[in-house]
Amino acid sequence: MASVTFESIVKDVKARKFQPIYFLYGEEPYFIDTVDQLLEKSVLDETEKGFNQTIVYGRDTDLTTVISMAQRYPMMSEYQVVMVREAQELKGLIKGRRAGNEDGEEESATKGKSSEKDPLIDYLKKPLSSTILIFCYKHKSVDKRTKVFKEIEKHATVMESKSLYEDKVPVFINQYVAARGFKISEPSAKLLTDYLGTDLSKVTNELDKVMISLPKGGEITGEIIEKEIGISKEYNVFELQTALGRKDILKANRIVDYFGENRKANPFVLTVGTLHGFFNKIITMHAFKNAPGINMASALKVHPFFMREYETAARNYSLSSCIRIVGWLHEYDLRSKGVGNRSTDENELLRELVFKILHSQLIPA
């Protein structure tokens, strides 16, 4: 067998082309959960699930029990399904023993136990064709050098679920929305990405809420995002970031006023963290501006559609100004947590900080 993509595994499952063993692993749980749920819905009908579907969790079982379940035959059904969720907590699943190195030797994390038989390796070599065994190993990668993983790669269908970089999330949003018969603009996809981050489960949950209220073929606009999710399309931390980049003093101060009136929706720590990331990207632009052959959007992990915003900010803020601003962001983050500050509230701190950023080249060092 071999590693497969998310798209190919979904296509095969929908076509009822099932494999005896699936090993789904990686830092991004969304793709793992999606395949897991698709298999749960696709293999057995509701009348078959009572006798032929078993769902266990890694912390509540052990490898020997899982393999014993997999070796049972289905009852009045073509298949039985054994799903191991949170498999990263299943003791002994990926052992420390590594495959042979270049000298043909092997390393063992547990001395004296190298001769022990591994029930998973034995099963991988002779799986029951009527069993579909699924391991969902989430939130982290695996040691690909281990003997067990090498055997998994040989005999199972393996899918690695990697976290998406921030610049790839708007593309994912567009594809997710289009697949369900809706539309979304680049700025709206960027707004969702900036506000919700790279947690795809969170992103898709919010999109699903929005799409419920739209007619088929409708567009997810900034107004709809503001109404359904609560992200103001005009007064949010990313509009503040843009206003600062352009040195738009009036717009920046209007946003600060709005934040003061809506503090719960606009926490100071989120604002500071976002601005910190923004000005660090501008520092990177200054550092690489003369580097030959550099793809700046790729270096910043920013969608090319939004590069103009960063280019404007780089013209308005020198490298030395950006370095000072990053220092102020650290300082005001600490002050918001009570370090060197007894009475100034967060909104006044933000007002001071925004003033300093906008006038960074005029304030003496």
Domain boundaries in the chain?
6-160, 166-229, 237-358
Architecture, CATH, for domain 6-160: 3-Layer(aba) Sandwich (3.40)
CB 43 within 8 A of CB 79: yes
In the block, tokens 């352009």 appear at 246
CB 13 within 8 A of CB 42: yes
Q: Which neighbouring-strand residues pair with 82?
A: 54, 133
User: Backbone phi, then psi, for 146, in 5-degree steps?
Assistant: -70, 155
d(C-alpha 100, C-alpha 147), whole Å:
8
Number of alpha carbons in the 13 Å side-chain half-sphere of residue 318: 7
User: Side chain identity at 103, as an amino acid letter?
Assistant: D
**Reported pTM:** 0.71
d(C-alpha 44, C-alpha 53), whole Å:
8
pLDDT in tens, the chain (365 residues): 668 999 999 999 999 999 999 999 999 999 999 999 999 999 999 999 999 999 999 999 999 999 999 999 999 999 999 999 999 999 888 865 555 543 333 444 444 444 467 899 999 999 999 999 999 999 988 888 899 999 999 999 999 999 998 888 999 999 999 999 999 988 889 888 878 888 999 999 999 989 998 998 999 998 898 888 878 888 889 899 999 999 999 999 999 999 998 888 889 998 999 999 999 999 999 998 888 778 898 888 887 888 999 999 999 999 999 999 999 999 999 999 999 887 888 999 999 999 999 999 878 76
Q: Which neighbouring-strand residues pair with 81?
A: 53, 132
Architecture, CATH, for domain 166-229: Orthogonal Bundle (1.10)
CB 188 within 8 A of CB 231: no
User: Backbone phi, then psi, for 123, in 5-degree steps?
Assistant: -70, -40
Note the CATH number of domain 237-358: 1.20.272.10
